[in-house]
Amino acid sequence: MLKKWCGLSRPADPSRIFFTKTNGGLGIPSLTICYKKAQISRYSQLMTSKDSMCRFLAERQHMQDTGTQKKLKPTEEVIATMLEHPGATGSKLAVEARKRIVSRDEANLTTHASSLMKERDLFAIKEKDDELWSSTVTKLPENLFAFAMAASVDSLPHNSNLCRWRKLSSDLCTICFKVGIHCKQTLAHVLSHCQAALQSGRYNTRHDCVLEILFKHLQQHLPPGTTVVADLPGYPYTLPTDVPTDLRPDLVVHSPGQLHLLELTVCWESNFSAAKLRKESKYLHLVEQARGRGVQASLSTIQIGCRGFVDSKSLQHFFALTQTSPKAQKTLTSEIISTVIRESHTIWALRNQ
C-alpha cells in the first residue's frame, strides 16, 4: 500500500519510505520499528519498576533472550542503555533505548540501499541536501511526488526496466531509434543523455527554467552598481569588455574591478564532478585573462541533479555574492528542486514522443 501511494513499482526497494528526512526519506516508521520501540518501552518500565513482580518478569525475559539468535533482545538493549545513562528513570531509558534502535536500523537501511545497483551512485554523493529534497517533494502535487520518489530509486517504467520485468522485448530508446541511434532507454538516458530529447530542446528548457530562478535572485539581491547578464531567451546578452570572448557563460556578474562567471549544469547526479570539470576547463581561461588585467575574477559551477538533488556546496559562492540568509537559501533551493522535478516529469512524459 505504501509503495503504491509513493508511486514505487512492486520490485522497488522501499527503504526511502522509511529513511529519516535527513537521509532523503519520508520519515515514516516501519511496522518493525514500531514493534521494536513498543517492546523497548515495555521492558524499560518493567526493569525499573518498584514492583518486584514486574522486575521478575523482566529478569525472566532477559534469561530467555540470553544465548538466543533473536534479532531483537529488548532487555539487553535496555541494560546497554542503563550502562550509558546510569540513574535514568524508566521513561528516560525508554527514550534513549528507542534512539539506539532507530539509529541502528537507519544505518542498516542505508547500508542495504547503498549496496543496490540502482541507488548506490546517489548515496555516494555526500554534498546533496537530502533533508531539503525530502521536505520539498512531500509538498508537491501527487503526480510529481510519485514521480520524484520513483525516480529516486529508479523504479519508473522505462524500457530498460520493462525488459527486466519481462513486459517488453526491446530496451532501446524509442525516439533515438527513429533517428538511427541505438541506445538503451534507462532513466539516466531519458532525463539526461537522450540525443533526440536534447535536439528537441527539452533539456534546454529545464536548464533555462532553473537559470531564470538564479538570474532573478541575482537581480533582486546584488548591491547597486553591479550588473548581471544571463544567457536566456528574451534577455539581452552583452558581455563586459573584461570578457573578450565568443563564449556565452550562463551568468556574468560584473562590477568595477570584479568579475564573476557562473555556469549551471542540470545533469544526472553521478555526473556532478564530471560536469564541474568540464565547465572549468571551458571557462577558466577567461578568469585567468581577466586576472591578468588586474580584475578580481572567479568562476563558479552550479550542479543540479535532474531528479531534484542539489549539489549544495556548488551554490555557496552564488549565495555569498548575494549575501543570502540561510532561510532564503532554503527557500530558493526548494524552488529549484520543485522546478527541476516538474520539468524532468515533463521530459519523462514525452520519452517516447
3-state SS assignment for residue 163: helix
Give the bridge partners for 172, in sequence order: 184
pLDDT in tens, 8-36: 888 888 888 888 888 888 888 888 888 88
pLDDT-based confidence at residue 185 (cuts at 50, 70, 90) = very high
pLDDT in tens, 156-180: 999 999 999 999 999 999 999 988 8
Grid-cell match 528537441, residue found: 200
- Cell numbers at 205, concatenated: 528548457
Give the bridge partners for 311, in sequence order: 128
202-349: CATH number: 3.40.91
Residue 67 falls in which region: left (phi positive, over 0), alpha (psi -120 to 50) or beta: left
Q: What's the confidence (pLDDT) of residue 166?
A: 92
Q: Are 181 and 196 in contact (CB under 8 A)?
A: yes
Task: Supply the mean pLDDT for the chain.
Answer: 89
Q: Does the structure show a pLDDT above 80 at 322?
A: yes
Domain boundaries, the chain: 2-122, 159-199, 202-349
Give the bridge partners for 301, in sequence order: 263
* Beta strand residue intervals within the chain, DSSP E: 227-230, 251-255, 258-267, 296-305
Rounded average pLDDT over 239-248: 81
Q: Are 126 and 114 in contact (CB under 8 A)?
A: no
pTM > 0.85: yes or no? yes
> What percentage of the chain has pLDDT greater than the value 70?
98
Q: Does the structure show a pLDDT above 80 at 72?
A: no
3-state SS assignment for residue 310: strand
Q: Give whole-number Cα distances, 12 to 16, 81, 106, 253, in Å.
A: 10, 35, 18, 44
